[in-house]
Structure 1
Amino acid sequence: MLLLILLFGGLLVVTAMAPTPRTLPDFQSALKAGRVSVVVYRMSQPDAIYPVTPRGKPGEVRGLTWAEGPLVWHRIIPGPIRDGKDVYTFARLSADTAPSGVRVTEEVQRQPSWWYATWPFEIPSLLGMWWIGAAWVLTLLIMLGSTPWLANRWAWFWLFGVGQLGAIAFLILEPRPLWYRYDRRPRQRARIWGGLGCLMSVATSLVAGGIALALGALLSRVLP
């Protein structure tokens, strides 16, 4: 069950990484039809050199992403969003979303984390699926309380955090690979130690990122 939950969480994140392009009328039509579940907006930001000079008009929305269900994400290409002849402002966004009561949140610019996995928490929590993060934490606790056969706990700790996919790999490979019969035990071998696990976690994170981008691009062509 934990494995299925985390795989579903990974799918949520992958689809959110590759939203399909839409227009403002598309967004407004989806709102009126009740298809929108979450809206993420980005306001105009101060200029890096002249902080008091806004790049856009006050209250101007410069980026808009929304979900129509957990696996369908759309966005308006970041930049000036026009509402007829005028720019699309936060006041207009609030007026558009108020009748549906949809959740509206501002995009938070964060530096990517290389030391711990954030994917089970950010997008799932945005969609109200906190149980995906809880499944990841529970898997971590199971790992810390067990005696793994493939790698020691320090190696798995690195794979859980930096490696991003460690929790999923742990549930597939420990305490025995899923493809083993119930009565078959893995052959005793030297376990992967912490230092090697750290190096493997860096490689795993790069592979995971590439797979996520490729899969997201593919799903964006398949999903509506």
Structure 2
Amino acid sequence: MGQLGTEHSSAVRSPDAPPAAPSGPLGLLVRALIVMALIAGGVQLTQTPAHRPLDDLFQAIEAGEVSTITMEQLPPNSQGQSTVEWDGLARPAWSTYEYSSENAAPEGWAVDDPSVSGADERAMILDLASRSGVQVLERDLGASSGGHLVWFSGLAWTAALLLLIGGPRPRLASKWAWFWLAVATPITWLVFAILEPTLWGRRRPSPQRARRLSGGWGFLLALVIAGLLASIPWYRDHFLR
């Protein structure tokens, strides 16, 4: 189980390195379960509300990007802090807001108007939603918006890491290279489970590559990939925020 730290990191294949043996039935099953859990986890993540500043909600409403807003039903003449969730074009989101029936926003207020500072943000949300025709749903105070979640991505990440550490020597890249790439983007585990040590379902041994990606190059490549993915708005909104 300690092979991740002790594996030889050279990218050059040993002349007498044996071909990579295909996975047995149990190994294929484990790899298939990891792939399915990763896919389920990715879908789950895109449907799980991400925290956003409240200004993002106001801007999204004005841009026509919000379909439904969900808020807690609060007692009259109360004040404090509560949460709001909304669905739109991208990943669902949530934020917190301050409410107080004594601090109403001025008539004809605008999102970027400094005079609304300290105003009842709940009333502002409801007013802006009404003006924009956005549906507002209320749930009981303290009620959960969903049941208990099974975090498939976390389970799959852990299983794939254990497979990397305790499994056979990878054919395409060193164990450290696979690790750094997976840190940069978890989708790497999907590629790893399908391709290592041989293509999933392949019944014959695969020859070792003359050169494979070393841990050092894997680390540098991971930095480049992480930067590129962070620059893609769709990926950033769905997986990084």
Residue 73 in structure 1 maps to residue 92 in structure 2: yes
Counterpart contact for 1:159–1:166, Cα < 8 Å: yes
Counterpart contact for 2:230–2:236, Cα < 8 Å: no
Q: Figure out how many residues of one structure are paired with residues of the other and give that number.
A: 156
Paired residue for 1:5, among 23, 33, 37?
37
Shift of 1:87: 3.9
Paired residue for 2:122, among 88, 98, 105?
88
Instruction: Quote the residue 1:132 is aligned against.
Output: 153
Which residue identity lines up with residue 144 of structure 2 in the other structure? V
Aligned mates of 1:158, 1:176 — CA distance in 2: 20
Paired residue for 1:200, among 221, 230, 236?
221
Aligned mates of 1:82, 1:189 — CA distance in 2: 69
Which residue identity lines up with residue 177 of structure 2 in the other structure? A
Instruction: Quote the residue 2:66 is aligned against.
Output: 21
Shift of 1:98: 3.4
Aligned mates of 2:178, 2:187 — CA distance in 1: 10
Instruction: Quote the residue 1:185 is aligned against.
Output: 206
Per-residue deviation, residues 24-61 of structure 1 (Å, max 9, x unmatched): xx414xx79xxxxxxxxxxxxxxxxxxxxxxxxx7344
Name which one, 1 or 2, has greater alpha-carbon Rg.
2
**Which TM-score applies when normalising by structure 2?**
0.48
Instruction: Quote the residue 1:156 is aligned against.
Output: 178
Aligned mates of 1:174, 1:82 — CA distance in 2: 58
Aligned mates of 2:47, 2:231 — CA distance in 1: 14
Aligned mates of 2:149, 2:93 — CA distance in 1: 18
Shift of 1:190: 1.4
Aligned mates of 1:192, 1:186 — CA distance in 2: 16
Shift of 1:136: 0.9
Paired residue for 2:187, among 165, 172, 193?
165
Counterpart contact for 1:18–1:216, Cα < 8 Å: no
Mark the CA change 1:200 to 1:102 in structure 2 (over 3 Å): closer, same or farther: same
Counterpart contact for 1:165–1:204, Cα < 8 Å: no
Give 5+ residue unaligned stretches, structure 1: 33-57, 90-94, 105-125, 219-224
Counterpart contact for 1:159–1:197, Cα < 8 Å: yes
Residue 102 in structure 1 maps to residue 144 in structure 2: yes
Q: Tell me the SS of whatever aligns to 2:153.
A: helix
Give 5+ residue unaligned stretches, structure 2: 1-32, 53-64, 74-78, 105-119, 124-137
Shift of 1:3: 0.8
Counterpart contact for 2:182–2:188, Cα < 8 Å: yes
Paired residue for 1:175, among 166, 173, 197?
197
Higher RCO (CA-CA < 8 Å; seq separation 6+): 2
Aligned mates of 1:137, 1:195 — CA distance in 2: 23
Mark the CA change 1:186 to 1:103 in structure 2 (over 3 Å): closer, same or farther: farther
